[in-house]
């Protein structure tokens, strides 16, 4: 028997993909103005949404994302990055 997949998963996933694509396009359009964009994945965080089995806590996630933002430049703008700075491939 196949697992049941809720419709909410499709809507959530497609909206996230749409935001990522829009930010990538924005990075290209804003590059001539010297404006950089960050597309960040906060990680699996222990929160009400992420659940108690998340791998990291909120302060660790925020600290990592702040570090990624602080190091943004023309070479990293528009990349999809994990909270720890590793690039997430499209």
Helix residue spans in 31-71 (DSSP H): 58-70
What mean pLDDT value characterizes the chain? Answer: 91
d(CA 23, CA 28): 9
pLDDT in tens, 63-72: 999 999 999 9
Residue 72 is predicted with a pLDDT of 96
The whole-number average pLDDT for the span 73-86 is 96
In the chain, pLDDT over 70 holds for what percent of residues? 91
- With CA atoms as reference, report the closest residue to 83 among 44, 37, 40: 40
pTM: 0.80
């Amino acid at each position: 028997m196949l697992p049941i997949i809720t419709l909410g998963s499709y809507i959530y996933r497609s909206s996230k993909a749409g935001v990522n694509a829009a930010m990538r396009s924005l990075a290209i359009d804003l590059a001539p103005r010297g404006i950089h964009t960050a597309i960040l994945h906060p990680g699996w965080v222990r929160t009400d949404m992420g659940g108690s089995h998340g791998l990291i806590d909120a302060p660790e996630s925020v600290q990592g994302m702040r570090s990624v933002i602080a190091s943004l430049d023309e070479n990293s703008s528009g990349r999809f990055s994990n909270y720890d700075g590793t690039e997430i491939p499209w």
